[in-house]
Chain A
């Protein structure tokens, strides 16, 4: 039983990263119809930025947790203005290709400067040690990640459902032309929303720094798993993306623990789940069928 709870907890923690990344992808996709391939690269930049800030400027974790997401959000907004914006009227495939190219560039830039080896990042002292939950104890840092990620997801949910900005974003996601016809300047919100999504990726990166190896390729394979996650949840659905993120984290952790004779299972199970979902509900668990193209 203790083992089961421990596995479940670890699954939720890795699910938290999927959820944060999938959430950013879903928000960006909803507003811009852009699937951002560079999302994994921004996650990597978040972690690398935190590492560089600490080692070269002595900036602590807590400051990095604020600086990196904001900084990357600004970078994201500049990127949207400079490039992505030019292609949003065209087939979404062009922006997918553009962000793929950007991914290669960002990865290689970091690789040129810092090499490919992984760099360790010290867990902040306030979050070292572990929390005793009676029957078992967990590393404090992981408890923090889980709590923080859930808080962010709930916060975004609240923002979308209870504020005027959220209402505008939801309306322009559903019916951009109609929203425009009501006199709302949809275009004004596109750039901030893109920046916001990128900021979430950066945030996930900073959170990952003390827990995972910081290297230029840390986001490369992760982004493909996150793509599978959003296909499972339904790309248009923000709730679906978050739920599928946590769900896949759990399924992977259980697979790893109970099918440990087959290490392949935990790596590939997400794709198998995706295949089943495609057979059963092609639009994703929480997605709606897109209009036939």
Chain B
């Protein structure tokens, strides 16, 4: 590569910005080995963990990847993604209860509704950047929360939606163990879609916008429209996770829309590593497992622990787990080749 032409498609950066890039630059066999390990872990998971926890990890993995798509690859921190996760959970629950459709159809309906909701919210929110974007998305998510809280005839208010069925062509999915394998293909599809988005020309433009919006604009890219598209796609993926979460728990409560849920999604991504995509999956597994363990051992102040993790990660460990490991491996690799 002797060309000095700098296009957003290969936006030159002095250092690899993220662990994902490190992985993409790794030799082929490393990437395939990582993929194989990931898939085998996913297949084994409900045998090693309580299956209900494994189901939660899958849902939260989608949620985290959706948030990282914006935070890591578009440079927008949404602090209101519970709006999409929760809206989809409610719509999925309502469709499954009232229409008795197979759960994947209900989840799709929920995710599409979430994406539709992401259009107006995203349209307004992308007018601001940085910290303002976080505050605006947070505020709109709270609006959705209040609406759900007041609209008791549909959402049942504080009682929540109960008895969301796990209908799938008469298969018996009441056991969480089998349900895990029923949703695994959907989750993998969602994760693959996120990977595809990041590695598409569209995704490269997003990274270009993240790194230098002025230049992207000067090159003729409609920055707002790109950001909005990313926001809607992210809302859809978060919606997939939220819908599966509703079916997984067979219950939807107002918690799914609360700002603490939005915050938890961001914690998961930062812990895993911003801009690493798969780091979010790892973060989801750790946080979900930890919270389950804490509530199982009767510890009431879960916020104390998650908040503490958050403070420590932000202060000491900003690259996150995946980012730190990737940086270590890169350094080792570079030293070996010298």
Residues of A within 8 A of B (CB): 35, 83, 86-87, 90-94, 96-98, 100-105, 107-109, 111-112, 220-221, 224-225, 227-228, 230-231, 235, 263-264, 267-268, 270-272, 274-275, 278-279, 282, 290, 292-293
Contacts and interface: CB of A to CB of B under 8 A. Distances in A.
Nearest to B302: A108
A167 B13 CA distance: 40
Contact of B303 (A90, A107, A274): A107
Given A97-B266, A98-B311, A109-B304, A268 B143 contact: yes
B139 A224 contact: yes
A108 B129 contact: no
Interface centre among A87, A101, A225, A228 (most CB of B within 10 A): A101
Given A35-B131, A92-B130, A98-B315, A227 B307 contact: no
Given A278-B128, A292-B214, A293-B129, A98 B304 contact: no
A96 B134 contact: yes
Contacts of B310: 97-98, 100-101, 104
Interface string B228-245: 000000000000000000
Contacts of A111: 300-301, 303
A167 B310 CA distance: 36
A227 B135 contact: yes
A101 B307 CA distance: 4
Given A101-B311, A224-B139, 11 more contacts: A96-B134, A97-B266, A98-B310, A101-B314, A104-B303, A105-B311, A108-B302, A108-B307, A231-B139, A267-B150, A274-B139
A91 B136 CA distance: 17
B311 A83 contact: yes
A268 B147 contact: yes
A105 B315 contact: no
B143 A100 contact: no
A105 B142 contact: no
A93 B304 CA distance: 21
Contacts of B251: none
Contact of A279 (B124, B302, B307, B309): B124
B38 interface: no
A292 B213 contact: yes
A268 B266 CA distance: 24
Nearest to B139: A228
B146 interface: yes
A228 B140 CA distance: 9
A231 B127 CA distance: 12
A62 to B, nearest CB: 33
11 contacts: A86-B315, A96-B77, A101-B306, A103-B307, A105-B304, A105-B311, A109-B301, A235-B135, A271-B142, A275-B124, A293-B213
A97 B140 CA distance: 18
A103 B303 CA distance: 9
Contact of A87 (B129, B304, B306, B314): B314
Contacts of A268: 143, 146-147
Nearest to B223: A292
Contacts of B124: 275, 278-279
B261 to A, nearest CB: 12
Nearest 9 Cβ contacts at the A-B interface: A104-B307, A101-B310, A104-B303, A271-B143, A108-B301, A105-B307, A108-B303, A101-B311, A108-B304
Nearest to B136: A231
A173 to B, nearest CB: 16
Interface string B185-219: 00000000000000000000000000001100000
Interface centre among B136, B306, B307 (most CB of A within 10 A): B307
A224 B131 contact: no
Nearest to A279: B124
Contacts of A221: 142
Contacts of A101: 267, 306-311, 314
A12 B260 CA distance: 29
Interface string B297-324: 0001111101111110011001000000
Contacts of B151: 264
Contacts of B150: 263-264, 267
Nearest to A230: B135
A282 B146 contact: no
A230 B132 CA distance: 10
A236 to B, nearest CB: 10
Contact of A267 (B130, B146, B307): B146
B270 interface: yes
B138 interface: yes
A93 B134 contact: yes
A90 B301 CA distance: 30
Interface in B114-146: 124-125, 127-132, 134-136, 138-140, 142-143, 146
